Amino acid sequence: MNWFILLNCTMMISDEKNNRIYPITKKTWIHYYLHLNWEQTARKLWTLKWDTFEIKRDREKHLFIKNNSYWFNDWLLRKILTPDTVVIIKEAKRRLKLKTTVQEILEKGTYLYFATMWFERQIFLPLSSFDNIL
């Protein structure tokens, strides 16, 4: 296990607006949740196991159509994960898994016209930049 990831993923993180990201550990997985101060409930962001960062996505709901890409939270990629961490997207309703690394997202991804501060800054990676795995 990458100890940098383990140490960074076991603490709650908050920003100046009191938005929080926090982990809940279940067996060998660590599930991350985002609680925005204006929302009543937290959202599950992703799951981390060893050096694999896993996200479940519904293409109809999560794919940014204008540039055919999935988005990632820039701050979390830079602060929690290491560049060699494997990123796997499991697409709901399809038996498809997409694979890349944090380094590839940061190198090939683009920032679009959305909020650019703290937890809100997003980086977008086109589907063509992922490897398909079963």
Domains: count for the chain: 1
In the chain, % of residues over pLDDT 90: 16
What is the model's pLDDT at position 1?
38
- Let me know if 114 is exposed, middle or buried by CB neighbors in 10 A (0-12, 13-18, 19+): exposed
> What's the mean pLDDT in 16-24?
80
Closest CA to 78 of 47, 114, 102: 102
pTM: 0.71
Rounded Cα gap, residues 33 and 19, in angstroms: 11
Per-residue confidence band for 36, with pLDDT thresholds at 50, 70 and 90: confident
pLDDT, one tens digit per residue, over 63-109 is 888 889 998 888 778 877 888 888 988 887 777 889 999 999 999 99
Which of the 8 DSSP states describes residue 118?
G
Q: What is the 3-state secondary structure (H, E, C) of 63-86?
A: CEHHHCEEEEEHHHHHHCCCCCCE
Range of the domain at 16: 3-133
